[in-house]
Amino acid sequence: MQPDDFAPGTVWLVGAGPGDPDLLTMKAVRLISRADIVFYDALVSKRVRALIREGTKGVNVGKRSGRHSKDQSAINSMLVGAVRAGKRVVRLKGGDPMVFGRATEEISAIEAAGFRVCVCPGITAASAAAASAGLSLTLRGVARDVRFVTAHSRRDAALDLDWASLARGGSTLAFYMGRDVAGHIARRLIEAGMSGATPVLVTCNASLPDEQRLATRLDLLDLATRALAGSAPTLILVGPAMALAERARSGAMAAEAD
């Protein structure tokens, strides 16, 4: 990193990853340590926020389903106000800023005000969940691609997705923010032709000490998610590559017994 990469009057959108501070990039740690003010999301863990240096202002602008502390226009205004005041600004976003993080709106607002904005990527939840389970999101002859899908819609709006395309097979589907609509996801995929026996992995709090995982199948997804998730951030991985989750768990149990 060049010394002037974070001059006063600059904004960095920084990926906070899935929660484990050891999974932050070296660049992310350095940017957080140099910031004058950090605006952070609800999904940024306490352990990551602990890296904000003493004396640096931390501002919670988190948005969780049904509980928005700030709307997006207010967040944009706060970012512009801070950078206009000559601050080194970090916008700390859970996971990767460019994956369902509304980064484009913030970048557009900052650039429209005439200021520089840069992006530091982070590990997204799907990668963290797969790594914790020891699974590959792609698998030769089984899953040729990965599709990141937001299961969050505008308030009171139906979840409008191309279900036929998602149900076609040959992919691993990663549903973000799917905890409250797990039953709807399962029902629509099955209606679109996906087998109810399709393997699924549900992961809560990926990468954190209290992470929980449950290998299940599509027609049991609603029950499994309600039993496991509570109010925790939840990622749902759907596809034949997830069949190895049950096998991996069985192998780990056998190893522990030995």
Active site (catalytic) residues = 41, 63, 177
- CB atoms inside a 10 Å sphere around CB 142: 17
Which strands, in side-by-side order, build the sheet including 199-204?
A: 145-150, 171-176, 234-238, 199-204, 212-217
Residue 213 C-alpha from the chain's centroid: 16
- With a CB cutoff of 8 Å and minimum separation 6, the contacts of 218 are 186, 189, 190, 194, 195, 196, 197, 198, 199, 200, 238
Question: What is the C-alpha to C-alpha distance for residues 1 and 148, in angstroms, rounded to an integer?
Answer: 30
Question: What is the C-alpha to C-alpha distance for residues 185 and 187, in angstroms, rounded to an integer?
Answer: 6
